[in-house]
Structure 1
Amino acid sequence: MTDDKEFTTIDRRQALRGAAMAGAGAMFLSPGMALAATTDLAAIRKAAEAGREQSVKRIQDWIALPSIAAEDRNMAEGAQYMADLARDAGFQHVEIVPTDGHPGVFATLDAGAKRTLGIYFMYDVKQYDASEWSSPPLEAAIVDRPGFGKAIMGRGAVNQKGPEATFLAALHAIRAAGRKLPVNIVLICEGEEEIGSPHFKQVATKPNVLAALKTCEGIFIPASWQDKSGNVSVNLGSKGIIELELVASGEKWGRGPRGDIHSSLKAMVDSPTWRLVQALQTLVTADGNTPAIDGWFENVRPLTAREKALIAESAKNGDEATQKKILGVTHWIDDLPYEQALQRLAQEPTVNIEGLVAGYTGPGGKTVLPGRAVAKLDFRLVPDQTRAEAERKLRAHLDAHGFPDVEVNVSGGYDPTEVDENSRLIRTELATYARAGVKATLNPRLAGSWPGATFTAPPVSIPAGHFGLGHGAGAHAPDEYYVIESTNPKVAGLVDATMGYADFLYQLAAIK
C-alpha cells in the first residue's frame, strides 16, 4: 500500500519526467518510441503500485535467508533461492553454476529484442553481530529513518538485496502490465562478493555464460545511492581490491613459541606478535597513509585532466560538512581541502588494516605471549595496477625486508574497473536519470570495489557500472536499511525505484 506522501512524490516526479522527456531524455528517442515508452510506463507504474506489498515481502523474505560466504552459511540454499527468484521473475533459462568455491547463478530472459542488457547480482551478505543492531538483522522490520521515511532494516537490505529485488520488481511489473520487455536480459550472480569474488571468473567464463555476456550492451549492479538532495553519482570505474591475511607465527619463524606461553618468559623468548607489527610497519609511511611497498606506484596512472575536472565539479556540488558528520571524522588526511581530498580518494591505492588478532582479547588481562598473530588487510588498487602484480610485489617486499616467514594468505580480489563515459551503458544511465529529474554527476572512480573488471576485461570486454534510484545505508554495518516509503520528495521510494529500472530498459532499447 502506497501512502499519500509517496503519491505526492510521484506526482512531482511525473512533472519532472515530462520536462526531461522533451529535453535530455527525448533526444535519444524517435517520436514514436517516446510515445510508446510513455504509454507503457504508465501501465507499468500502475502494476508496480499494485504489486508493492509483494515487492516489499520479496525483500524481507530474502533478508531472512542470510548467505554468508565467510562463514560458509546457507550458501547452497542461497544459490537455490536466487535461482527461484529468477524463475519467478520470468527468466526462461536458469542454472546454478558450480565453482571451486560457492556456486553462482546464471539466467537469461529472451524477449526477442534487438539489444541485450547484463545484470550482476550477489546473493551473499556480510557477517553481523545481532547485539549491535537496534532491530534483529534477519527480521527485516519496517522502521522510520528520519529525513527519508519508512525503510526495511536488515543485513543485506541495501547491499544488495533491496536494490536487486527492486530490479526484479520492475520485471514483475512489466509482465503484470501485459507489456513486452524492450530488451533481453542476461543475469549473472555470485555468492562470494563479500570475500573478494575468488571464483567468480569461473562463472563468467563458463562457455554458455561467456557467450551470453558478450551479446550485452553493458552490465550493471543495481544500486540505491541517492543522497538527501536526491542526487546520484555515475561511476566511471571502481578501485580493485585484494583481501588477505598476514600471519606471523613461532612455527614458521623458527623463533618464539609454537603456542601461547606465560608472558613472564618474554624476557628470553621472541614474540611473533611484535614480529607481525614490525612487518606491518614496513608496508606504509610513518603516518600510515601512503603505501611504502617496493615498486607499488610503478604502474599507478595519474588522474587525467578530465578526471580532475569531474572531481572539481563533485567537490563544488558536494556537502563536505554532512559527509564528515556521517563518517564521524573532523579532518581529511593531511588536513587537505575537500577537492584535494576527493582527488586523493580517487587517485591513491591504499593499504588498510581491517583487524588485528593475537592472543587473549576477552575481558580483563591474561598474561600470555602469543605464538601466532594475524592481521586482516585490504589493498585498494587503481589503474593501471593489477591484482597479480600487487600480490607479487607484496611477497617480494616482505622477503626483501627480512620477513620471508610472514605468511600472505590471499582470500580474494580483482583488478580495477574502468568504463568509457561515451559508452551506451553510461549514456543510458544519464538519460534515465534526466527523465526522472535526478541530478547525476560523473565520478571518475568509486573508492569502493566490485568485480566489474570481470566484465570490462577480456574475454568479456563490455562496459560495467552501477545504476538505480532510491536510498539506503549501513552496508557492512549495524542497522543497515533500504528506503521503501520515501517522505523526502527528492528521493525515490520503492515504486519510483522500480520505475527507474523499467525506464532504463526502455532507454537502452531506444538510445542511439
Structure 2
Amino acid sequence: MSIIQDRRTLLTGAAAATLFTPGLAFAQSGDVTPMRAAAEKGFDASVKRIQDWIALPSIAAENRDMEKGCEYMMALARDAGFQHVERIPTDGFPGVFATLDVGAKRTIGIYFMYDVKQFDPAEWSSPPLEARVVDKPGFGKVIVGRGAVNQKGPEATFLAALHAIRAAGKKPPVNIVLVCEGEEEIGSPNFRQIVTQPKVLAALKKCEGVVIPAGWQSPSNGGVSVNLGAKGVVEFELVASGAKWGKGPKTDIHSSEKARVDSPAWRLVSALATLVTPDGNTPAVDGYFEKVRPLTAREKELLAMAARQMSEADAKKAMGVDRWIDDLPWDKALERLASQPTINIEGLVSGYTGPGGKTILPGRAVAKIDTRLVPNQTKDDAVAKIRAHLDKRGFTDIELNVTGGYDPTETDESSRLIKAEIATYKKAGVPISVYPRLAGSWPGAVFTSAPVSLPAGQFGLGHGSGAHAPNEYYVIESTNPKVEGLVGATVGYIDFLYEIAAIK
C-alpha cells in the first residue's frame, strides 16, 4: 500500500451541505469562504485518507504492523504540512513528534494515537479493514471499520482541516505541536518517555494546552460535552496457577480429579470476590477510597445542569441497559459516574471455552481487570493497594501483571483551552454540557501533570460510535440536521484553531 494515495476532488452534493456557522474569530481573520470551499473540494480525498489509514491496522496488543503504523503516521503529518516530523523510540513501540511553525504568537498541542483495538472479523457486518462507506439509517453515510471513530476518523478530520487551510492559500493561525503514540490501546505504558524527551517537552511548554480530536455529537440534539478532566485507568491481569500456588495441577487434568485436587480457577474466583462489595459495584480493596477526592460544589452544580441537558433515555438506549446501579435516578447516576472509582472484570478465562463440554480441571485461570481512578488517586498507589489487599488475605500466589495505565486528569474551567472549546461550540450552534470528568480514560495525565502541566481535553464536531466494538463507524455525510458530517467537522477544527489564536 502506498503511504499517501492520489486525491480525488469531486464533491458530492450531500457533502456540500453543512450547518456550521463560522465564529467571530473567523470574521477577524478574513474570509472563511476559501477554507470552506477547500474542505468541500477535498471531501473525497479526506474520505480516502480515513479509509487508507483504517486499512493499516497497527495493533499494539498483537504487535501487528507497529513500525508500518509509525511510518504511516509520519507520512500523514508531512503530507499535512508539518515541517519537522520525527520518530521517537521508546522501551515499547515508537511514537511520533511533529511541529508546524508558522511564526504565530500562540501554539496548540495535538495528541494522536495510531494504534487500534483488536477485532474479530466474524462479528462485523463488513470487513473491519475495508472501511466501506455504507448508509446507516438515521445517520447518513458512514465509514465502517476498526479505528473509524477511535481515533482515525477524528484525527484524519483534523488533518483535513490543515489541508483545507493550505489549499485556501492561508496558514494556520497558531503553531501546532503534534505528539503521537502507538500504545494507547494497551494503556500507554511508554508515552511519558515520548513527552519528556527534551525537544518534545520544550515544544509542549510553549502550548496553550493539548487536545485529542473527537467526534461525539449526540444524535438526539447534536450536543457535546466539554470535559474538565478524565478518569485514570490501570489495566492488569490476575493469574492463578497450580505452578505458582503449589496446589492444583500444573497443567489441565481430567475433571474427575477435582475430588482430590485443588482448582486454580476457584482460587482466582475467591480472590476476585474480595476486591469488590458483594454486588460487584464498589471497590472493597483496603484503603482504596482514602485518597478519593469528593465532588466539589462546582462539580455537583455542573452535573446537575448536565442531568437537565442530557437525555437519560438516549444514554440507556446507546448502551442497551434498562436500569442504573441501585435504580439510581438520572442525576445521581451521573454523579456516581463522575465520582466513583471502579474495579471491572474485562475478561475471565480458564480451561475450555469452545462448543460443548470438555471435562478438565484447568491448571491456570486469568482475569483481565481494569480499574478507573478519580482525583486524587494514582496508578501506582492503586496497584500497591490491590497487591497488599490480596497478600493480606493469603493470595500471595496470585500474580498481578500490570499492562498499562495512567493517572486521572483535571483541567481548569477558566483556561484558554476550555474557553476556546466552548466558544467554538457556541458559534457552531450546538448544545453544550460542561462536564466535570469523562468516565473513560485517555493519557492526558501525561500533559496535565508535571513536568508538562498544561490544560488538556477533547474537542470535535461530528459523530461516530462503536469504539472497541464490532461495526465501529464514523459519519461522513450526515442526514441528521443536528449532527455535522465530515466537512462540517473539518471546518470546526479550523474555527477552533482561530479561537485559540484569539481567545482572551
Within-5 A mapping of 1:422-441: 422-441=414-433
1:400 corresponds to 2:392: yes
Given the alignment, which residue of 115, 128, 132 partners 2:106? Answer: 115
* Aligned equivalent of 1:360, options 343, 352, 359: 352
Q: In the alignment, what sits opposite 2:152?
A: 161
Deviations 1:139-177 (A, max 9, x none): 000011111110100000000000000000000110110
- Give the one of 36, 59, 71 matched to 1:68: 59
Measured on the aligned residues, the alpha-carbon RMSD in Å equals 1.0
> Conserved in 2, the CA contact under 8 Å of 1:51 and 1:173?
yes
Segments of structure 1 that go 5 or more residues without pairing to the other structure are: none
User: Partner letter of residue 398 of structure 1?
Assistant: L
Please give the residue correspondences for 1:226-265 in structure 2 after superposition, counting only pairs within 5 Å: 226-228=217-219, 229-265=221-257
**TM superposition outliers: structure 1 runs of 4+ over 3 Å:** 1-8
Of 324, 338, 346, 1:346 maps to: 338
Cα displacement (A) at 1:47: 0.7
Contact 1:2 1:485 in 2 (8 A): no
User: What's the CA shift for 1:434?
Assistant: 1.2
Give the residue type in structure 2 aligned to 1:440. I
- For residue 55 of structure 1, the aligned residue among 19, 32, 46 is 46
Note the 1:317-336 alignment, pairs <5 A: 317-336=309-328
2:7 is matched with: none
Distance 2:139 2:360 in 1: 50
Deviation, structure 1 residue 313: 1.0
1:37–1:448 CA distance, 2 compared to 1 (3 A): same
- Given the alignment, which residue of 174, 189, 202 partners 1:183? 174
Q: Per-residue deviation at 1:35? A: 3.2
Q: Distance in 1 between matches of 2:291 and 2:215?
A: 33
Deviations 1:245-264 (A, max 9, x none): 00001111111111111111
Residue 97 of structure 1 aligns with which residue? 88
8 Å contact kept, 1:6–1:487: no
Residue deviations 1:383-438 (CA, integer Å, cap 9, x gap): 00000100110110000011000000000000001100100000000111111111
Residue 314 of structure 1: how far off its partner (Å): 1.1
Aligned to 2:131: 140
C-alpha separation between the residues in 1 aligned to 2:12 and 2:138? Answer: 16
- Distance, in Å, in 1 between the alignment partners of 2:263 and 2:230 is 39
Q: Aligned with 2:207: secondary structure?
A: coil
Q: Which residue of 2 aligns with 1:507?
A: 499
In the TM superposition, what whole-angstrom CA distance separates every residue of 1:348-406 from its partner, at most 9, and x where no partner exists? 00000000110111111111111110000000000000001001101100000110000
Q: Conserved in 1, the CA contact under 8 Å of 2:11 and 2:42?
A: no
2:379 corresponds to: 387
Q: For residue 133 of structure 2, what is the amino acid of its counterpart?
A: I
Question: Offset at 1:37?
Answer: 2.5
1:80 match: 71
How far 1:6 moved relative to its partner?
4.5
Q: Equivalent residue of 1:217, what SS?
A: strand
Task: Say whether the 8 Å CA contact 1:249–1:272 is kept in structure 2.
Answer: yes
| Equivalent-residue separation in structure 2 for 1:494 and 1:7 (angstroms) | 10
Match of 2:363 among 366, 371, 376: 371
Q: Percent identity?
A: 70
Q: Which amino acid aligns with 2:458?
A: H
Correspondence 1:486 to 2:461: no
Question: Are 2:16 and 2:487, in contact at CA under 8 Å, matched by a contact in 1?
Answer: no
Is contact 2:96–2:181 with CA below 8 Å preserved after alignment? yes
Corresponding residue number in structure 1 for 2:274: 282
* 1:467-486 mapped onto 2 (5 Å cutoff): 467-486=459-478
What is the Cα deviation at residue 320 of structure 1? 1.0
Q: Deviations over 1:458-479 (max 9, x none)?
A: 0011110000000000000000
Deviation of the 1:456 alpha carbon:
0.3
Q: TM (normalized to structure 1)? A: 0.95
Note the C-alpha offset of 1:3.
4.3
Please say if residues 470 and 492 of structure 1, whose CA atoms lie closer than 8 Å, have aligned partners that are also in contact: yes
User: In the alignment, which residue of structure 1 is the partner of 2:3?
Assistant: none
**Which structure 2 residue ranges, 5 or more long, are not aligned?**
1-9
Residues in 1 aligned to 2:328 and 2:394: alpha-carbon distance in whole angstroms:
35
Cα distance in 2 between the residues matched to 1:6 and 1:175: 20
- Residue in structure 2 matching 1:43, options 23, 34, 48: 34
Give the match for residue 442 of structure 1: 434
Q: Which residue of 2 is the match for residue 213 of structure 1?
A: 204
Is 2:185 aligned against 1:194?
A: yes
Equivalent-residue separation in structure 1 for 2:177 and 2:455 (angstroms): 14
SS in structure 1 opposite 2:208?
Answer: coil
**1:298 corresponds to which of 282, 290, 296:** 290
- Give, as a single letter, the amino acid of the residue that structure 2 aligns with 1:459: P
Deviation at 1:97, TM superposition (A): 0.6
Number of corresponding residues: 494
